[in-house]
Amino acid sequence: MRKLWSPAAFAASVVLALTPVTARAQKKPAPAPAAKKPAPAADVPKKDAEPPATPPPAGEVPPNAMPAPPTPPAPTPPTATQPAPAPTPAQPAPIAPKPTGKKPTAGATPPAPKGPKPIVVERVIAIVNDSVILESELYQRAAPQLGDLEQISDPREKQKQFKALLRQTLDDMVDDELILQAAADSELTVNDEEIDKAIAEVKKGNKLTDAQLAEALQAQGYSVTAYRKDVRKQILRLRAVNILVRPRVTVSDEDVKDAYEKQSRKAGAVTEVRVAHVLIKLPKDASAEEKEAARRRAVELVERARGGEDFAKLALGSSEDASTKESGGDLGWFKRGELPTEWETQLFVADKGDVRGPIEGPQGLHVFKVIDAKKDTVKPFAEMKDKLRNEMYADEMEKQTKVWLEELRRKAHVEIKL
């Protein structure tokens, strides 16, 4: 689920959420070719505001979907709340033309009577209490991600991902509408000064003038008026989550201390080792006697190394690894996961200077010495507590927001027609 709340400053959260709208201020994208409009499943008068792009037929990936600019990890701009479906007005009877007194010319076609203008309708794909979500709004919201589907070569997989994207996007839009309705029930509002401040931050962060912002919005099918409405709803949703969910979240000092202690215990673990070895080779078809003789040699080398003899000299005089014996058997640094499991389990629990062996390998038996080791370190609690508290608070806010949305859905009338 996308993040709906941030522990950072509220205004900064809004700015992050609005940044995508100005991402293309410097370059105007070429318009994608219009796709064929699907047959309407439910008739709703189309809004008078900026008409959204006509969506492709239901269930098909748009053929020439243009990739959208990168979107930061804040909630995407919301879509406007739609009115409830209105009945289609009855068509008036055609008006007969007035007689002119002239005889009609033989074979001439009488002029067709003028009728009312056709009403543009489109499909409703979700009902959320007394509001609706239109198909064109869904495709407009999903447009930034549709371009990624062009990289999928398998048509079946592309279609599968397309349907999954639409469903996830629609779920997000339903959540957004439920949050707005909860904000309205709680009588939360956003004034014009807050909207002006948020837009000013966007212009400042992107170094845009009013004219450049308007041009960037127009390139994405927005007007300044429509953008201000979206900004208002974005701020309102963030405010609703902060005010209505925040009381559910508590992070105590004990919780922070427990989290610090867990990190401290993990901090002592070895993360990287530098090892040297002595190799005693064995043929693949070695006999039992050959294996036993090699084992005795390895055990002797382990005892001599642990007794204080220079490991580099032991490697130079006894190792059968020609590539490392001249350098004292030094194999270099290894992180977790870079050594065979049976080696890692022994070497990553060893301290600096420990000698381990004999350990079997593909070429024979090894005697290892841990030349050096790196461990996780942790800062003092006084330096870590604020960071830990913020992280824990953000995680708990995310969990409680999800629970709250599930509660809103259970109480609401939500009908999906996708």
pLDDT tens digits, one per residue of 112-168? 555 566 665 789 999 999 999 999 999 988 988 888 888 888 999 999 999 999 999
Please give the Cα distance from 250 to 233 (Å, whole number). 27
pLDDT at 109: 52
Q: Are the beta carbons of 373 and 274 closer than 8 angstroms?
A: yes
Please give the Cα distance from 344 to 349 (Å, whole number). 8
> Rg (Cα) of the chain, in Å, rounded?
35
Q: What is the mean pLDDT of residues 393-403?
A: 95
**Is residue 33 predicted with pLDDT exceeding 60?**
no
- Interhelix angle 210-219/192-206, nearest 10 degrees: 90
Q: Are the beta carbons of 162 and 418 closer than 8 angstroms?
A: no
Q: Which is it for the CA torsion 286, 292, 296, 302, positive or negative?
A: positive
- Cβ count within 10 A of residue 141: 21
**Is residue 106 predicted with pLDDT exceeding 50?**
no
Q: What is the mean pLDDT of residues 271-283?
A: 92
- Report the relative pairing of strands 124-128 and 131-134 from DSSP bridges: antiparallel
Mean pLDDT value across the chain: 77
Domains and CATH numbers, the chain: 10-86+118-250+394-416 (1.10.4030.10), 269-375 (3.10.50.40)
Among 108, 130, 134, residue whose Cα is nearest residue 121: 134
The DSSP line for 77-108 is PPPPPBPPPPPPPPPPPPPPPPP-SPPPPTTP
Q: Which residues, at least 6 apart from 278, have a Cβ–Cβ distance to it below 8 Å? A: 298, 301, 311, 314, 315, 318, 319, 321, 329, 366, 367
Q: How far apart are the first and last CA of the chain?
A: 20
Q: Tokens for 287?
A: 């006999």
Q: What is the mean pLDDT of residues 18-40?
A: 40
Ramachandran region, residue 221 (left: φ > 0; alpha: ψ -120 to 50; beta: rest): left
Please give the Cα distance from 320 to 314 (Å, whole number). 11
- Provide the percentage of residues in the chain whose pLDDT is more than 90: 52
Greater model confidence, 395 or 110: 395
pLDDT at 385: 92
**How would residue 271 be classed by pLDDT, with cut points 50, 70 and 90?**
confident
pLDDT at 301: 93
Place of tokens 């559910």: 248
- Cβ count within 10 A of residue 144: 20
Please state, in angstroms and as integers, the Cα–Cα distance from residue 216 to each residue in 49, 120, 340, following that order. Answer: 18, 28, 55
Q: What is the mean pLDDT of residues 335-339?
A: 89
